[in-house]
């Protein structure tokens, strides 16, 4: 029997731990820690596949725990989702900049929490599968086990995927297929330039799903938080209606000397990007929504066309972040 994925829940509030453990218990192997120090000791003894980390804890808060984990080569690739009751975007952005992959606000919506965990675990699975594939070629290539740490060798992979453009219809299966292919493109690129695989992957996930779900299929994002079942039902219904499903999403991927450029355009009604708050004011741009917050936190430049149905994102190779 395959061993369950292990998740460490770190929170000084027993009630919060009970709630999260109740949501996750049937899906994952759940371990708990009630302080930052005990969390670090727990990880040192037994690695976890993902960490749910409360921000506000006495003595050692979540930021300090995240900083320690992300600066240790043995733990830096464990994805972290912050658990927070705070509404200030500056606090959330601080955690993302430290290397966290996402955040979930209290009280927890079970469907949202599970969806975000599954999304990040899937990104990690793609990364590990690619690394395993490269390592398995050791019988064909001399010293292939060093490929991901050897910039020159890894560049041979990057050179094959310098640029491509594709259009896909508005159905989830095509989005997932494209994201799976993209992970094989950007994972070696991130290794070369010391970028975060998780952060880039999440930026692509958020922008592609936004273009299909909220752009072409016109399913409102607010419905996801209000009633997950209604959101899921409307999404599946729109996928079967040609008026919505036959709208295309155009994706363009371009690797340059100094940066990665990505453009995603849908055929939806768009929105007024001039109404987005100042990205340099963290307390303001929380109101723009979680997806935009994540993208703006993880990418170096983000802009939309006037209609609001085309996003351009850039990640510079001169700046780096770790998983």
Of 191, 210, 181, give the one whose Cα is nearest residue 288: 210
CATH class of the 6-108 domain in this structure: alpha beta
The pTM of the whole model exceeds 0.75? yes
137: pLDDT confidence band, cut at 50, 70 and 90?
very low
Domain 150-316: give its CATH architecture.
Answer: 2-Layer Sandwich (3.30)
Helix residue ranges per DSSP H, the chain: 14-24, 36-45, 62-70, 89-98, 110-136, 151-160, 172-193, 197-209, 222-226, 228-239, 242-245, 282-285, 290-298
Helix %, strand %, coil % of the chain (to 5): 50, 20, 30
User: Domain segments of the chain: what residues?
Assistant: 6-108, 150-316
Q: pLDDT per residue over 260-302, tens digit each?
A: 999 999 999 999 988 887 666 656 555 557 888 889 889 999 9
Q: pLDDT per residue over 178-196, tens digit each?
A: 998 888 888 888 888 889 9
């Amino acid at each position: 029997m395959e061993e369950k994925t292990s998740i460490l829940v770190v929170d000084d509030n027993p009630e919060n731990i009970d709630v999260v453990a109740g949501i996750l218990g049937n899906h994952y192997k759940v371990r708990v820690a009630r302080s930052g120090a005990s969390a670090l000791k727990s990880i040192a003894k037994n690695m976890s596949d993902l960490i749910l980390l409360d921000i506000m804890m006495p003595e050692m808060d979540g930021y300090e725990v995240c900083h320690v984990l992300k600066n240790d080569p043995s733990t830096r690739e464990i994805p972290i989702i912050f658990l927070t009751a705070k509404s200030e975007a500056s606090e959330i952005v601080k955690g993302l900049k430290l290397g966290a992959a996402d955040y979930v606000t209290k009280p927890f919506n079970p469907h949202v929490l599970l969806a975000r965990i599954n999304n990040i675990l899937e990104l990690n699975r793609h990364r590990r599968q690619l690394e395993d594939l490269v390592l398995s070629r050791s019988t064909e290539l001399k010293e292939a086990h060093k490929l991901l740490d050897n910039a020159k060798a890894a560049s041979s992979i990057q050179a094959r995927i310098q640029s491509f453009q594709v259009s896909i219809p508005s159905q989830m299966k095509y989005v997932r297929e494209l994201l799976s292919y993209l992970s094989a493109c950007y994972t070696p690129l991130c290794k070369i330039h010391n970028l975060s695989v998780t952060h880039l992957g999440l930026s692509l996930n958020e922008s592609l799903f936004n273009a299909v779900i909220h752009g072409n299929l016109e399913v409102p994002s607010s419905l996801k938080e209000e009633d997950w079942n209604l959101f899921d039902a409307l999404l599946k219904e729109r996928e079967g209606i040609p008026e919505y499903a036959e709208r295309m999403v155009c994706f363009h991927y371009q690797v340059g000397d100094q940066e990665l450029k990505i453009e995603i355009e849908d055929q939806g009604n768009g929105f007024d990007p001039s109404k987005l708050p100042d990205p340099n004011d963290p307390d303001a741009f929380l109101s723009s929504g979680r997806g935009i917050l994540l993208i703006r936190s993880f990418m170096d430049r983000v802009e939309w066309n006037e209609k609001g149905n085309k996003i351009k994102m850039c990640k510079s190779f001169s700046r780096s972040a770790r998983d």
